[in-house]
């Protein structure tokens, strides 16, 4: 990887982390420059349209990290209940270990849904891609098309809500509750 690509990647990773923790409006370009150690000129070279363009790159970066983590679990575990429980357990462990986990994209989505259509669309696409992975796993596990689609949305809602409550409560208990409730949600009885 060249130094130029590395600088761009560092800017995206730094912005992604700061936006997750502090939100879009809680982070300025100066914060990203200071935290990344990358010169201001490089930021504008890679992101000539500024903060909004960098935020979209950060959302896509975060989306890809989450997709890779989910897919890795889904490749290892066949049973849908077990795999979603493992996914929730992984998130629960992150909450316990990190004081600054932040929200994958929920903070940005909540803040900018009515002020930036490009950022709203990037957030929407991230949620839809996560739901599509859930849906695919459920289809492979024998759920019909409608069930798999609805359950994919419901699981995304459950996970996003559990993360929000866990962060708010400074406790992984909401994620642990979701982990137990996934059994009821996915039972075919």
Q: Which domain holds residue 80?
A: 3-186
DSSP notation for 105-154: SHHHHHHHTTT-HHHHHHHHHHHHHHHHHHHHHHHHTT--HHHHHHHHHH
Mean pLDDT for 174-186 is: 93
Output the domain CATH number for residue 10. 1.10.357.10
> What is the structure's pLDDT at 172?
87
32 vs 91 pLDDT, higher one? 32
**What pLDDT was estimated at residue 100?**
62
Report the pLDDT value the prediction gives residue 51, as an integer from 0 to 100: 96
Give pLDDT, residue 2: 47
| Interval 61-71: pLDDT, tens | 999 998 999 99
* Structure tokens given for 55: 């935020």
1 has pLDDT over 80 = no
How many distinct structural domains can be found in the chain?
Answer: 1
Between 170 and 4, whose confidence is greater? 170
Q: What six digits make up the tokens of 163?
A: 């993360």
């Amino acid at each position: 990887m060249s130094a130029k690509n590395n600088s761009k990647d560092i800017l995206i990773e730094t912005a992604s982390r700061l936006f997750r923790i502090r939100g879009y409006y809680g982070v300025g370009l100066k914060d990203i420059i200071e935290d990344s150690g990358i010169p201001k000129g490089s930021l504008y070279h890679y992101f000539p349209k500024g903060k909004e363009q960098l935020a979209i790159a950060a959302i896509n970066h975060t989306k890809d990290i989450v997709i890779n983590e989910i897919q890795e679990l889904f490749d290892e575990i066949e049973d849908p209940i077990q795999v979603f429980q493992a996914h929730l357990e992984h998130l629960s462990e992150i909450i316990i270990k990190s004081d600054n986990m932040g929200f994958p994209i929920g903070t940005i989505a909540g803040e900018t849904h009515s002020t930036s259509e490009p950022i709203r669309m990037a957030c929407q696409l991230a949620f839809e891609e996560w739901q599509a992975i859930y849906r695919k796993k459920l289809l492979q596990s024998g759920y019909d098309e409608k069930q798999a689609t609805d359950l994919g949305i419901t699981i995304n809602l459950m996970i996003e809500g559990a993360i929000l409550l866990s962060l708010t409560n400074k406790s992984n208990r909401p994620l642990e509750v979701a982990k137990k409730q996934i059994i009821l949600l996915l039972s075919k009885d």
